[in-house]
Chains A and B, each alone.
Chain A
Amino acid sequence: MVQSVSGGMGSDQPTDSGKPKARMLPSKRRSRRAWVALGIVVFAIGFLLYKGLGNSLVYFRTAAGAVRDRAQLGSTTFRLEGVVVPGSIHTTNTGVDFAVESSNVSVQVHDTANPPELFQPNIPVVLVGHFSGNYFLSNQIMVKHSANYVAAHPNRVATVNGKKL
């Protein structure tokens, strides 16, 4: 019976003279590499926790919450969430102007970035920017689509005589 030591295959093999081979070195290197890899992983976990605690827990403020805390927010950059108000979208030379709403509180937005493909009226968005005068100046629009999936053309498949399958 032997005690299995998982220090790597072929490590510590003796030479004819009875002295350990130089193969010990790769084993040590492997060991050091494993510890370095573990250290990197621990650092990555720490970094993710730091980013997570800093950004994730209050990822955005709703339009209503931001208006309520406006004095406190000042010109600080934060994420603002709200639903795009239908009929409020106007393309400008620098981007797009529109309004977002939550809990019947609306905020006028002046955006300087290209809106994403799904940007449209009645869709929830998260904007990155800050208050400036009567506007929320945004430099990034992110679309927060819902978890509902509805077929665009539910009756598109039909039989020859027009009857739905």
Chain B
Amino acid sequence: MESKRYKWTRRAIGIVSLLLVAATVIFGLWITPPDVVQGQLVRLIYVHPPVAWVAYLAYGITSIASTLYLWKRTRNMKWDLLAASSAEVGVIFTALTLVTGSIWGRPAWGVWWTWDARLTTTALLFVLYLGYLALRRVPATSHQRAVRSAIAGLIAFVDVPIVHQSVVWWRTLHQGATVLNPSLSPKIHGEMAMTLLLGFISFTFVYAWMLMHRYQIAGFEQKILDIELDQILEERLHEPGMESMQVELSPDVEQIDRHSKV
């Protein structure tokens, strides 16, 4: 069951997220000035880069959790569930990145979409993690699923630095990085920079809140699955003619079972 501490932490993060997003909206729409070139279009900067950052962060967490599952000393089903939960939230934020980028691109660039390296690698990132989530649906033991998806999650993460560096490595329509540029000197006006930072913080809190919810649901799903499968096997063992059968599990299988329990 959900501990009180977890519940209150999640609620507190939810409330802080709401307040920070509200502050970002107020600053982004009313307090910050328009840009000298882009005019009012610049206001999308307070949403688009922060949601992209959260997608990177989510996949980073997935990779760390996947590594912790693959490493035998730290292997625990919780890491697998955390990796999956974070990837799912990451996919939502990648979709938001693509949508907000497209909405910004139409008036600023003149097109909704173009096949430049930044956009293509971001679309690839989205599809790679959809693949990760699809792979988790392929029937397997909990342990097999966790190992498979951990490896897939780590391979997919290779695309994250490629997405970030694409504007440096190749010629793109997408502009270069404003904050994390090669010279590490943000080229953005003070009020705009502060609001952008606020956007990064607020969407990070939203991610944490979503992740906590999703992780809890993933835990419940796993428990239901385990209980139901226990019942099924129990029922089968009590079928006529099955009483004499003894199911002897090998040490390997027992180990797998131990990992499958949350």
Contacts and interface: CB of A to CB of B under 8 A. Distances in A.
Interface string A1-26: 11111111110111000100000000
B33 interface: yes
Interface in A108-163: 115-120, 123, 126, 140-154, 156
Contacts of B12: none
A65 to B, nearest CB: 10
A6 B188 contact: no
A149 B124 contact: no
A143 B104 CA distance: 12
Contacts of A34: 134, 137-139
Interface stretch (B3-11, B61-69, B197-205, B254-262): B254-262
Contacts of A4: 141-142, 225-226, 229, 256-257, 260-261
Interface stretch (A48-56, A69-77, A91-99): A48-56
Contacts of B249: 1, 3
B109 A59 contact: no
Interface in B194-244: 224-226, 228-230, 232-233, 235-236, 239-241
Interface in A33-62: 33-35, 37-38, 41-42, 44-45, 48-49, 51-52, 54-60
B201 to A, nearest CB: 19
Contact of B127 (A41, A54, A59, A140): A41
B246 interface: no
B51 to A, nearest CB: 18
B225 A153 contact: no
Interface residues of A, number: 62
B120 A31 contact: no
A44 B127 contact: yes
Interface in B21-50: 32-39, 41-42, 45
A34 B136 CA distance: 9
A41 B115 contact: no
B15 interface: no
Interface residues of B, number: 72
A59 B124 contact: no
B138 A41 contact: no
Contacts of A101: none
Given A9-B224, A52-B124, A58-B171, A143 B117 contact: no
B175 A147 contact: yes
A114 B51 CA distance: 31
B173 A52 contact: no
B131 interface: yes
A5 B229 contact: yes
B141 A45 contact: no
B145 to A, nearest CB: 6
Interface of A: 1-10, 12-14, 18, 27, 30-31, 33-35, 37-38, 41-42, 44-45, 48-49, 51-52, 54-60, 81, 115-120, 123, 126, 140-154, 156
Given A18-B241, A59-B170, A149-B35, 6 more contacts: A5-B229, A6-B141, A13-B235, A56-B120, A151-B36, A156-B33
